[in-house]
Chain A
């Protein structure tokens, strides 16, 4: 009843083509943004910021990047963790080696370096497809894992191969407390989400989707696969790289290549598929699911056990966490193979007609 677009007439192309054509959506988004920027910092405590919100924002950003490649351009990748690592180490090097390098500059240059790496490792996608490509991208994963462990130059000759960043500062604003870190990540996420949304609505996004749906057909109607695929790799890796740099700089503070291991790559792909391929929103749903669920289970299980009078050992909790997590993934995919985002849009469709469906 409330969510209905009756009476909202579009009188110009611009109005018809805006991101959120329905007025209620615009209000909802605005309210959400206000809540995220103002409400959350007032409500959440330190644990919430450090252990849940910041990882969620950063991995959401990474999932957004992966979604551009996997969901919009149809190139399955298992090497996203590697591009996070490239972003993190490149940003670290820019920050440490170049005098007076601003934080934002280092982050963006880190992303740019990751984009270059993405293009290089995207070249096989011109020949190799589908699952073959997915496994081939693992080459990037293991190569970069190795490179950042072995090549001392990347880590400024630190003897252990672990690097750290502190005293983050941007335009005189020291990003130190959890709230500041949260706001910084949130700001970047909002900007990149807007950017990505506009990219996928534009010509380039349509080219990606054409390639995804059928690359031979796309080629026939004049889309250059090389340009489309490599640009998707570049944009995706750029965003993933920035997320990687944030993960290192803001979340961990000190990291080693294991922070961007193959498990991370799987995790990101998880987020995209669970959340919904080809949906910006889906990336965030997926990130929330993957970040929050294990932590939630880990804390909820002993508590639930206490309720019924059973004390579950740490080992039991950990195993049940695995089992429930796996079962939920299977369950979700059976119920909705297209991810949570599809559930969301179905709900929206229903809401439009409610309470008087046909």
Chain B
């Protein structure tokens, strides 16, 4: 029982991290109808910027405070992500209004290559670390109830909290601010939004920027866990089942989907894995999403697709 709970908690926390990446997908898809495969590359790019600036800034300005360095690096990295968003809108999206989904998807793959190449040329391609003071050692709780106690990974726990906070902030942003309302309007209908004077170009920059911030936060968390290096870009592949399970257009869907996938894949790996040789979690996550899709083809919280001839 103790072990089951541990796996469950581990799965929930892993799921929370997946949803952080998934959130980036959802935000962009919602506002611009682009399925952004470059999200993984954005995570890598943002994390590289963060790690390197945290290393460089103290040298440039001549101080040694780690916390201050991290804060400044975060601000600079966020600025960099804004520039990236602006460039993407300017140079790419603007020219591809009203194109088919497949074309847009392919363009984002091109952007992914660009970001990986540019990011590594600018910031280097070694392993870098982000040290935001995450605790690394585990804590054991409820030792009275279970033999050996219940192991909680403190780092994952904090990461999950940050992810939850980010999601809450984004939800507020969408519901309560004028920009948020404009974003939702664009998501509902591009033309209608334009006709009442919402500037599409600006909205897209904002949305890509917000997705960039989500990528930055994900990059910091994953980067502090794994070290910042090229493989961070592959994190996106783990988040894809989350996106389709939760629905491409739903922010809460990304969260719930993340939790379901996280728990599902960890439980399957731990309990079914040993029977078939292990290593099943990645395809199990996709299969799980696929099975859900068979019952709800638009994802758990996606908007219902109505076909008319």
B297 touches A127 (CB 8 A): yes
Q: Given contacts A131-B105, A132-B293, A330-B107, is CB(A337)–CB(B279) below 8 Å? A: no
Residue from B96, B286, B297 within 8 A of A337 (CB atoms)? B96
Give bound CA distance, A145 to B120, whole Å.
Answer: 29
Query: Is A277 touching B102 in the complex (CB atoms < 8 A)?
Result: yes
CB B208 to nearest CB in A, in angstroms, measures 15
User: Main SS of chain A's interface residues?
Assistant: helix
A117 at the interface (CB under 8 A from B): no
Q: Is B202 engaged at the interface, CB distance under 8 Å to the other chain?
A: no
User: Assuming A316-B121, A323-B121, A330-B92, is B106 touching A146 (CB within 8 A)?
Assistant: no
- Asked whether, in the complex, the Cβ of A150 is within 8 Å of the Cβ of B114, the reply is no
Complex Cα distance, B299 from A303, in Å, reads 50
Q: Does residue A130 face the partner (Cβ distance < 8 Å to B)? A: yes
Distance to closest chain A CB from B110 (angstroms): 3
Question: Is there contact, CB below 8 Å, between A135 and B243?
Answer: yes
Output the least CB separation between B309 and chain A (Å).
5
Q: A327-B110, A329-B109 given as contacts; is B286 within 8 A of A138 (CB)? A: yes
Question: Of B99, B120, B243, which one neighbours A319 at CB under 8 angstroms?
Answer: B120
- Distance of B161 from chain A, by nearest CB (Å): 28
Contact (Cβ within 8 A) B109 A266: yes
CB-CB under 8 A for A150 and B277, given A216-B308, A330-B114: yes
Interface flags for B126-149 (1: CB within 8 Å of A; 0: not) read 000000000000000000000000
Q: Is the CB of A139 within 8 A of B283?
A: yes
Known: A131-B105, A150-B276, A277-B102. A326 touches B110 (CB 8 A): yes
Pick from B113, B121, B244: contact of A135, CB below 8 A. B244
Nearest neighbor of B240 in chain A, beta-carbon distance: A135
List the B residue with the shortest CB-CB distance to A78.
B240
A276 CB → nearest B CB, Å = 11
With an 8 A cutoff between CB atoms, is B193 at the interface? no
Q: Which residues of A contact B248 (CB under 8 A)?
A: 131-132
* B95 interface hit (Cβ, 8 Å): yes
Q: Does B298 contact A (CB under 8 A)?
A: yes
Closest to B242 in A: A135
Residue numbers in B under 8 Å from A320 (CB-CB)? 117, 121
Q: Is B187 among interface residues, defined by CB-CB distance under 8 A?
A: no
Q: Find the B residue at minimum CB distance from A326.
A: B113
Query: Is A153 on the interface with B (CB-CB < 8 A)?
Result: no
* B106 A333 Cβ-Cβ under 8 A: yes
B68 on the interface (CB 8 Å rule)?
A: no
Residue B289, interface by CB 8 Å: yes
> A315 and B293 in contact (CB under 8 A), knowing A135-B240, A143-B283?
no
Q: Which residue of A lies closest to B244 (CB)?
A: A135
Q: A256 an interface residue at 8 Å Cβ cutoff?
A: no
**Within the assembled complex, what's the spacing in Å between the Cα atoms of A217 and B120?**
48
A306-358 at interface with B (beta carbon < 8 Å) = 315-316, 319-323, 325-330, 333-334, 337-338
CB-based contact B107/A127 at 8 Å: no
Residues of B within 8 A of A330 (CB): 91-92, 107, 110-111, 114
Q: Chain B contacts of A131 at CB under 8 A?
A: 35, 101, 105, 244, 248
Residues on B with C-beta less than 8 A from A138 are 237, 240-241, 286
By beta carbon, the residue of chain B nearest A152 is B277
- Give the chain A neighbours of B237 by CB distance below 8 A: 138, 262
How far apart are the CA atoms of A128 and B107 in the complex, in Å? Answer: 23
User: Within the complex, what minimum Cβ distance (angstroms) separates B247 from chain A?
Assistant: 9
Q: With an 8 A cutoff between CB atoms, is A274 at the interface? A: yes
Q: Given A220-B309, A334-B95, do A329 and B297 touch, yes or no (CB 8 Å)?
A: no
Q: Tell whether, in the assembled complex, residue B243 and residue A124 are in contact, meaning their CB atoms are under 8 Å apart.
A: no
Alpha-carbon distance A338/B102, docked complex (angstroms): 10
Question: Are B106 and A139 closer than 8 Å at their CB atoms?
Answer: no
Most A CB contacts (10 A, CB to CB) among B103, B109, B125, B290 go to: B290
| A322 B106 Cβ-Cβ under 8 A | no
A24 to chain B, nearest CB (A): 31
CB distance from A332 to the nearest CB of B (A): 8
Interface string of A127-169 (1 = CB under 8 A from B): 1111110111011001101100111000000000000000000
Is the beta-carbon distance between A145 and B283 smaller than 8 angstroms?
yes
B97 CB to nearest chain A CB (Å): 11
Residues of B within 8 Å of A214, CB to CB, are 309
Q: Knowing A127-B294, A146-B283 are in contact, say whether A322-B113 is a contact too (CB < 8 A).
A: yes
Q: A329, B125: Cβ atoms under 8 Å?
A: no
CB of B307 within 8 A of chain A? yes
Contacts of A287 in B (CB 8 A): none
B293 touches A136 (CB 8 A): yes
A225 → B minimal CB distance (Å): 12
A326 to B305, CA, bound (A): 33
Nearest to B110 among chain A residues (CB) is A329
Say how far A261's CB is from chain B's closest CB, in angstroms. Answer: 11
Contact residues in B for A145 (Cβ distance below 8 Å): 283
Q: Chain B: which residue is nearest A221 at the CB level?
A: B309
Asked if B100 is at the interface of the complex by the 8 Å CB criterion, the answer is: yes
Q: Is the CB of B102 within 8 A of A273?
A: yes
- Taking Cβ atoms with an 8 Å cutoff, the residues of B that contact A are 35, 91-92, 95-96, 99-103, 105-107, 109-118, 120-121, 125, 237, 240-241, 243-244, 248, 276-280, 282-283, 286-287, 289-290, 293-294, 297-299, 305, 307-309
25 contacts between A and B (CB under 8 A): A128-B294, A134-B105, A135-B241, A135-B243, A135-B244, A135-B286, A136-B244, A139-B286, A143-B283, A149-B279, A214-B309, A216-B307, A266-B109, A269-B106, A273-B106, A315-B125, A319-B125, A322-B120, A323-B117, A327-B114, A329-B107, A330-B92, A333-B96, A334-B95, A338-B103
Known contacts A131-B244, A139-B286, A330-B91; 8 additional CB pairs below 8 A are A139-B283, A149-B279, A319-B121, A322-B113, A325-B110, A329-B106, A337-B100, A338-B103
